[in-house]
Each structure stands twice: as structure tokens, then as C-alpha cells.
Amino acid sequence: MRGFSWRLKGKDVKFERPLIVGILNLTPDSFYANSRNTTPEAALERAKSLINDGADMLDLGAESTRPGSALIDEAEEGRRLFPALEMIKEAVPDILLSIDTRRANIAEKALAMGADVINDVSALSDAKMASVAAKSGAGFILMHSPKDLASGQNTDIKTSEVEAFLKEKTAELLKAGLSIDCIAWDPGLGFGKTMEANWRLTEELDKLSAPGGRIMFGASRKRFTRPNPAMPESESNSGLPGTIRANRIALAKGATLLRVHDVKEARDLLREGESYAS
């Protein structure tokens, strides 16, 4: 499986294989109930579990963007995020950390506390975000998203439209002074897209000309991976098999980061790919 390089806070880091990004939700209302952590102590235990299972990076998010969710204010996001981030950084200082946020002030403080990557699911909706990224030189994950993150809208968007959007936003980051070597793309599976569009983007992932080939793929347990997408995630309507299927396709199509709830299963996929390549 091919490796890649990524500039993180001024240092060019080379990875020999795709990375597993463990999802760490600091929310009471994320769509997958088993991923919710509402205290710093619970977040730390979950972080250790994800790392033990094989996560290479943790993605900390303190605001749910599931369809229909109520977006929170900056003070509440900070209250949820910063104590957990501080505790995790102290306990496991070497783990890579990304911060899932749409707010520049939150990103700036998190980077000062030791985070390595900004994961902006709103694609620069905060006018200050590009300058914060450029000043820090942090890794930056730029995601394709609808204007209203939690709208639940369904658009049959084409891969070429996602490509054009991400190129436009990348240009904004470059203009602000962020190095192209810091930027990764995320096609935004599950955000404002039809079932057909999500699976088409998965199959056409290799058509995205992401900087340095850096693509984060985040299909994990989203609605389109379930046998019955109209019904909530449950034991009988689990999105895990569909997630594994999507991740297998994505790895074959060039994904370099897998953002997942189920780290062990993602690790098994990487081992499967390593056996094919040997």
C-alpha cells in the first residue's frame, strides 16, 4: 500500500501506509451513540482504547453536525473540547491529534495546546480560519460540505463538482499562505449528498486530484452505509458492514486516511491490503 507525506507544523512527516483516524466525539448527540463521550475522563479512556486498537491519529469533535442537530456556540464547544484535549495530550503526548471544528478561535487555541491538524468540515466558513491555518502551519483537512452543515439536504452531486469546490477552497488557503504540503481533502461523504452520490464519490475517489494524494475518507456508520438508511443505527441495522465495504473501495482508490469509529476493523483492512501487496 502506498505511503504519503504531510507537513505538520513545519515538519514534513512521511507515512509508509494509510493512517487510521479514530473518531472521538465529545458530544451528547452525535449520530452514533456508542461514540459519545461527555466527560474528559470518558474521552481519555476512549482515546486509550482507540490507540490500543491501532489508531494513528485521533479526531476530536465537540459539536455534532448530524442532520437536524442544533449547532452550539463557541463557549460550549470550548467547554467540551479543551479539558479533554489537555488530558489526552498529557497522557498520550505522541499521538497525532486533529480538531474537528468550524471555528478559527477554537482551532487556534487547540493548536497552541498541542493539536497537529485542523479538520474543517465547514470548508472555511469562518473568515479567520485560513489565516489561523497559515500562521500555525498545521495540517489542514478541507472537506466538501453544504452551506448548511446540519440541513440534511440531499444533492446528487457529481465528483467533478466536489473537485471544483475543493480546488477553490484550496486556493483560498494558499492565498492566505498555507503550504500546499499541509492540505488534505475530504469529499464529505454523508454531508448533503444522496445515497447514489455517496457511493459514486467512493468509487471515483481516484478522480480527485488532492494535494500530494492526501485524501481522508469518512464513511463510518453514516446513513448510506446501513441496510435501511431511513432507520437509525442499531444492531439489526448496523452500518459497519457497509462501512467496511466503502473503506475497502476507498483504499483501493487511493485514500490515505480512514476516519472511523471501528479501528480494529480498519486495521484488518490495512493488513488485508498489505498481504495483497506482498
- Comparison of pLDDT for 249 and 67, the residue scoring more: 249
- Residue 276 is predicted with a pLDDT of 43
> pLDDT tier at 34 (50, 70, 90 boundaries)?
low
How many Cα atoms sit within 13 Å of 17 on the Cβ side?
A: 16
Q: Residue 181: exposed, middle, or buried by beta-carbon count in 10 A (0-12, 13-18, 19+)? A: middle
Q: C-alpha grid cell for residue 251?
A: 483504499
The 3-state DSSP class for residue 53 equals helix
Phi, psi (5° rounding) for residue 173? -65, -40
Q: What number of residues does the chain have?
A: 278
| 161-182 residue pLDDT tens | 999 999 999 999 999 999 999 9
CA 113 to chain centroid, in Å, comes to 20
pTM higher than 0.85: yes
The residue behind cell 446528487 is: 156
**CA-CA-CA-CA dihedral for 98, 100, 102, 108, to nearest 10:** -30
Structural domains of the chain sorted by starting position, each given as residue range(s) with its CATH number in brackets: 4-277 (3.20.20.20)
Cell numbers at residue 70, please?
442544533
- How distant is the alpha carbon of residue 50 from its chain centre? 15
CB-based contact 243:212 (threshold 8 Å): no
**How sure is the predictor about 71, in pLDDT bands with cuts at 50, 70 and 90?**
confident
* Least trusted range by pLDDT, from 103-117, 140-154, 259-273: 140-154
Q: What is the CA radius of gyration of the chain?
A: 17
CA 104 to each of CA 10, 134, 147: distance values in angstroms, whole numbers, following the listed order: 19, 12, 17
Read off the C-alpha cell for 125: 466558513
Return the SS3 of 29: coil
- For the stretch 183-193, pLDDT in tens is 999 999 998 89
Q: Which residues pair with 11 in a beta bridge?
A: 8
Tell me the C-alpha distance between 177 and 25, whole Å.
Answer: 30
Nearest to 63, CA basis, from 33, 97, 95, 103: 103
